[in-house]
Structure 1
């Protein structure tokens, strides 16, 4: 199975790449879908299919329900084999938060998802206290949507 260079394997084996948009694209295949975190129009649009979550740096998403739906949809795409990338400007806080949430969707306990993201993605993933709280509450909110 093809996967993106630098992809993280979630607890269920689903591959997702996290990346900072200010960093160059890694070698290898291009993503087929990106979940972009930030403000649409602030950064250049990817050349492939993408969805945006309006998510200020160091904060949590402006629209909780839309963010949950977008994270679940991106995870389901990745689980189905689509090459999925999650990105924010630096690739650490917001991207790490989404990767922690995807770990929850992949079966990892919500109360340990931040530690999992830091061990498997980046040591400083999920940078702020409110991002950590958002991950802990994600499992309950996402379960209501499913």
Structure 2
């Protein structure tokens, strides 16, 4: 049987991408590690300080957004973070090759991946467990990041 142009890709669109529970793909990574190679993302969401942005932004040659999100903490503007996480999920659902990254690729990136899993239909507790199984065993590093994921269903309903 031939695949139609509307069929989702059979494999990950980016090296290292994981399939969310709703079937779309996202790559989570750390900016301090070498780029995984392969095709460039269609879009990216990057989490960090101005310093991290200055260090890495020139090397990102695709459409991207940056959130001011300090290491081990929470985004400085939660409403902006929710908008960007929802937009990234919408792009992934539309078939775009997307990635999310912070410095190390574990805490902040894992928190966003867990939120994407919530948008994919998992309850928050399952989303944390799922992210640790599929992305990184130490993902969502702090108690406040876990609380943020647990409150995300209420946050993501914001206009």
**Normalising by structure 2, what TM-score?**
0.87
Q: Which residue of 2 aligns with 1:31?
A: 41
**C-alpha deviation, 1:15, in angstroms:** 0.2
- The C-alpha deviation readout for 1:114-133, integer Å capped at 9, x for no partner, is 11100111101000000000
Alignment size in residue pairs: 145
Distance 2:158 2:46 in 1: 24
Q: Which residue of 2 aligns with 1:68?
A: 82
SS at match of 1:86: strand
Query: Which structure 1 segments of 5+ residues have no match?
Result: none
Q: 2:18 aligns with which of 8, 30, 33?
A: 8
Q: Which residue of 2 aligns with 1:128?
A: 142
Q: Which residue of 2 aligns with 1:43?
A: 55
Could you list the runs of 4 or more consecutive aligned residues of structure 1 that deviate by over 4 angstroms after TM superposition? none
Matched, 1:139 2:149: no
Matched, 1:90 2:100: no
Query: Which structure 2 segments of 5+ residues have no match?
Result: 1-8
Q: Which has the larger radius of gyration?
A: 2
**C-alpha deviation, 1:140, in angstroms:** 1.1
- Supply the RMSD in Å over aligned alpha carbons: 1.1
- The C-alpha deviation readout for 1:88-110, integer Å capped at 9, x for no partner, is 00000000000000000000111
Distance 2:25 2:153 in 1: 19
**Normalising by structure 1, what TM-score?**
0.95
Distance 2:111 2:95 in 1: 22
**C-alpha deviation, 1:73, in angstroms:** 0.3
